């Protein structure tokens, strides 16, 4: 399917869509040990993955993100699972599609960062990164995803390589999503590599992304996400997506715990909608209860937009 022909892009041009919430912290709640490979659960415990994703769909998610954040060959090799790249990615898409059941919705194929710095700053070569992204993107597209989301990115170079891989694989829609952190003085936001929202938006648009996203990041709550999206839209007309964390993490029993309640997190959601978000969801710590609250607010928003059009 060619660029601009995506059913997802058509849908978000007509209404705001609700994404899903966290996968990693939900898998931990289901028993994933610290440092374990959550992506392996697509094969070893697909019922647990399905239960998590079904709960998001029941809460109102229009978009289900595959459990493939760390399912590239580079990441799986760290767990000795590099020979499982294909079955893990294919199973993830199958489970996500099953979670939607007979409901209208979209499966987003998730590609996360490779966990290291590209040369010359680190030991990850551009060739190896490109091969890993190409392989994973091709598997996700072949398995039938409606879009590829390249998320939690802090390096524009790595993000660009992944966007190119998704385009080459024939992804119907490509979402780029960057992780920003608040600066120490709290007055600005940058990626770990020092990139500001305007530069990130220009880069994603120029590289071929269809949707500009922001997710995760230290201190990036709903209010901060709204600022990011406004800054995106100052330099690009492309649709935007916001998936902030449920507050700042607190360490309990060697696990990061996110404690912002659905009600508190949703307080800033209308500001994100005012900023032009076309997809809203959550990242670390967000649960089906958060998504259920988002769904109610988005329903009101979409109804109001339809009324205004008339």
**257-309: per-residue pLDDT in tens?**
888 999 999 999 999 999 999 999 999 999 999 999 999 999 999 999 866 64
Q: Could you report how far apart the first and last alpha carbons of the chain are, in Å? A: 32
Q: What is the CATH number of the domain that holds 195?
A: 3.20.20.330
Question: Stretch 116-127: mean pLDDT, rounded?
Answer: 93
Question: Is 260 among the domain residues?
Answer: yes
81 in a structural domain:
yes
pLDDT tops 70 at residue 84: yes
Please count the residues of the chain: 310
Tokens in use for 265? 């997190």
How many domains does the chain contain in total?
Answer: 1
pTM, rounded to two decimals: 0.95
- Answer yes or no: is 137 within a domain: yes
- The Cα 242–Cα 227 span in angstroms is 11
CA dihedral 5, 214, 287, 22 (to 10 degrees): 80
What's the domain range around 168? 7-309
Residue 2 lies in a domain: no
95 secondary structure, DSSP code? H
Residue with tokens 């998320």: 151
Pairing of strands 181-182, 174-178: unpaired
Q: What is the pLDDT of residue 307?
A: 64
Q: Would residue 42 count as lying in a domain?
A: yes
pLDDT > 70: percent of the chain = 96
**1 within a domain of the structure (yes/no):** no
- Asked if 29 contacts 306 with a C-beta cutoff of 8 angstroms, the reply is no
**Which of 98, 83, 112 is closest to 243 using CA atoms?**
112
Is residue 35 in a domain? yes
Q: Which two tokens stand for residue 256?
A: 């990061």
DSSP bridge pairs for 256: 251
| Cα–Cα dist 32/255, whole Å | 11
Average pLDDT of the chain, as a whole number: 94
134-173 per-position pLDDT tens digit: 999 999 999 999 999 999 999 999 999 999 999 999 999 9
């Amino acid at each position: 399917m060619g660029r601009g022909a995506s059913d997802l892009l058509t849908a978000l041009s007509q209404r705001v869509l609700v994404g899903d919430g966290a996968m990693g912290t939900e898998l931990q709640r289901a028993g994933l040990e610290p440092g374990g490979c959550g992506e392996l659960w697509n094969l070893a415990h697909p019922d647990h993955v399905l239960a998590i994703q079904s709960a998001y769909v029941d809460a109102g998610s229009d978009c289900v993100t595959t459990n493939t954040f760390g399912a590239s060959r580079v990441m799986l090799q760290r767990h000795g699972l590099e020979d499982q790249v294909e079955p893990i990615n294919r199973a993830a898409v199958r489970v996500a599609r099953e979670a939607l059941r007979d409901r209208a919705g979209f499966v987003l194929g998730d590609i996360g960062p490779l966990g290291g710095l590209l040369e010359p700053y680190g030991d990850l070569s551009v060739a190896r990164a490109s091969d890993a992204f190409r392989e994973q993107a091709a598997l996700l597209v072949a398995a039938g995803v409606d879009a590829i989301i390249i998320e939690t990115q802090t390096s524009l170079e790595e993000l660009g390589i992944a966007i190119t891989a998704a385009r080459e694989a024939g992804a119907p829609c490509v979402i780029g999503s960057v992780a920003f952190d608040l600066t120490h003085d709290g007055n600005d936001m940058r990626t770990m590599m020092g990139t500001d929202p305007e530069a990130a938006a220009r880069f994603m648009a120029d590289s071929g992304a269809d949707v500009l996203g922001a997710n995760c990041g230290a201190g990036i709550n709903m209010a901060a996400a709204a600022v990011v999206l406004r800054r995106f839209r100052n330099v690009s007309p492309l649709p935007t997506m916001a998936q902030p964390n449920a507050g700042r993490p607190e360490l309990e029993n060697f696990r990061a715990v996110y404690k912002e309640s659905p009600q508190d997190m949703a307080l800033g959601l209308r500001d994100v909608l005012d900023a032009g978000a076309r997809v809203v969801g959550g990242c670390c710590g967000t649960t089906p209860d958060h998504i259920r609250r988002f769904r109610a607010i988005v329903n009101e928003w979409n109804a109001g937009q339809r009324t205004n059009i008339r």
